[in-house]
Amino acid sequence: MLLRPDVWNRSVKLAVAATVFFAFVLWIQPPRNHHGHRFKSWFSQPSHQWGSYGGPTQTSVTKDGCPVASDADNVVITVKTGASEASARIPTQLRTTLKCPPNILHFSDMEQTVDNVTIHDALAPIPEFVKIGNPDFDLYRAQQARKRLGWHDEPVTEEVKKAAWTLDKYKNLHIVAKSYWLFPDKKWYLHIDADTYLVWSSLLWWLNTLDPSKPLYTGSLTCFGDVKAAHGGSGILLSNSAAKAIVQDNSSTIPSWDGQARDHCCGDELVAQALKDNGIEMHNSWPLINGDTPFTIPFGPQFWCEPVVTMHHLSTKEMEIVAAFEQSRPNRSEPLSYMELFNELVYDHIPETTVDDWDNLSEGITLPDCPSFEACINECNENDGCFQASYDGSECILGTRNFRVGVEKKPEESKKWQSMWNKRRMREWAVVHVDCTNLHVAFKDSFVCG
């Protein structure tokens, strides 16, 4: 198997490097769309026909470049953020990846307005007996006090980040409830974070292959013990009947979890538990719903002929670049495949030379006690199946499973990371695997948690 289904965990650990990484990407080769030109490369192919799964026929876009689809108004997008990051995140996300969806709701740990956008307090419905004496709500109380005195953004310390993460788990179920009550007749509810990138055309196409009358709960699989859950940052998709089951049909479900949240890890775990209590199991739609950035995605057999619906942990600058690329597509109303994302955007950002203080996240063959980076490079060059390699001062990893750009990684104790890429082999592999006429959308439910 190319990757574990819960691959998003590694992405979480790497998210800290995202901003520095993007500066490096721009330094390697700036994107070629600042003036609205097509991202051209030798990969460019004629527009594919995507209809084998019954996806919507989208033959036009609006003047803003948004897909024309009859069911677009039947989708609700919710964005979960925090008071400490909202002003930095929300405007860019709305201007880029969320430019097209008509029904968007924002939720945070404090009610506020950012650029004329109303952000709801997701924690307001939680009863006082849960909050009083609960240190998880110390940040919430402090923010409410600052708001009364006149809120203004302040630098976010590590202590605040940790407190915000702890508080975050109380939001998810109430976001599910509020979005359902505000839009009780919509077919779909997609719950994402403020650093999630949504490919709207891919989502609309995919949803047309699914049945909203069935209680569907899906996303990128992560495990909490033996409980299967959809990772929140990658995106949690609920059908109307699934949301209705825990919000309206069994209205005691969500309040019952408020008092238990303190003893649990995360909000996405609580959503999974609440749905499971009502007989609704999670379906794994990874890699359509995906926890990587465009530059940490492991392109290859499992990330190729699938539609890209979401990506996670993007910086605001990365969102702008991907949005510019989307606008450059001649087939903007059609789903974006991983093949197209790699061929038309990511490939140009892969370095032509070796790079120090960089981990390209190679996966494949591990060679311990490798004497030098040069020896590691030679091992890759002599292996016809090696696309890239990374070296940490002693261990050489040959990337034979997939290929990606990676992230900056500073030296740690005796380890110093160096990376190389063989773009010719990537190009040759991509040419052989150029046909993605039929996109793969089947759930991957064989993985067992626990």
Q: What is the CATH number of the domain that holds 125?
A: 3.90.550.50
Q: Are residues 216 and 105 in the same domain?
A: yes
Whether 264 and 358 map to the same domain: the answer is no
Q: What residue has token string 């209705």?
A: 244
Give the integer Cα–Cα distance in Å for 58 and 71.
11
Tell me, yes or no, whether 393 and 263 share the same domain. Answer: no
**259 and 377 belong to one structural domain:** no
177 three-state secondary structure: helix
In a domain, 46, yes or no: no
Domain match, 267 and 398 both: no
One digit per residue, the tens of pLDDT, for the chain of length 450 reads 333 334 344 443 444 344 333 333 333 333 333 223 323 333 333 333 333 334 444 447 776 789 888 899 999 999 999 998 999 999 999 999 999 999 999 999 999 999 999 999 999 999 999 999 999 999 999 999 988 877 777 777 899 999 999 999 999 999 999 999 999 999 999 999 999 999 999 999 999 999 999 999 999 999 999 999 999 999 999 999 999 999 999 999 999 999 999 999 999 999 999 999 999 999 999 999 999 999 999 999 999 999 999 999 999 999 999 999 999 999 899 999 999 999 999 999 999 999 999 999 999 999 999 999 999 999 999 999 999 999 999 999 999 999 999 999 999 999 999 999 999 999 999 999 999 999 999 999 999 998
What one-letter code names the amino acid at 433? H
137 and 244 co-located in one domain: yes
Backbone phi, then psi, for 196, in 5-degree steps? -95, 135
Can you tell me whether residue 22 is helix, strand or coil?
A: helix
**Same domain for 270 and 412:** no
pTM value is 0.86
The DSSP line for 99-123 is SS-S-EEEEESS-EEETTEEEEETT
> For position 420, which CATH number holds?
3.50.4
Same domain, 359 and 265: no
End of a domain among 284, 309, 340?
284
Tokens of residue 312, six digits: 């996670």
- Verify that 249 and 393 share a domain, yes or no: no
Residue 81: domain span: 75-284
Closest residue by Cα to residue 48 from 363, 386, 304: 304
Q: Is residue 24, in this structure, part of any structural domain at all?
A: no
Amino acid at 284: N
Do both 125 and 243 map to the same domain? yes
Q: Is the distance from CB of 267 to CB of 224 less than 8 angstroms?
A: no
- For the beta carbon of residue 187, count every other beta carbon within 10 angstroms: 18
Check whether residue 234 and residue 109 sit in a common domain. Answer: yes
User: Is residue 168 assigned to a domain?
Assistant: yes
Packing angle of the helix pair 267-277, 172-182 (nearest 10 deg): 60
Q: CA nearest 256: which of 239, 276, 270? A: 270
Q: What angle do CA 247, 216, 437 make, to 5 degrees?
A: 145
Structure-token match 């989502």, residue found: 203
| Residue 390 forms part of a structural domain | yes
CB-CB neighbours of 131 under 10 Å: 16
Instruction: Determine, yes or no, domain membership for 256.
Output: yes
Strand partners, 120: 107
Number of domains in the chain: 2
* Strand (E) or helix (H) holding 278: none
Alpha carbon distance 4, 161 (integer Å): 28
For residue 20, is it within any domain?
Answer: no
Task: Please indicate, yes or no, if residue 218 is contained in any of the structural domains.
Answer: yes
Same-domain status, 181 and 268: yes
Please identify, among 266, 284, 302, the residue that sits at the C-terminal boundary of a domain.
284
Last residue of a domain, one of 284, 300, 325: 284
Does the residue 424 lie in any domain? yes
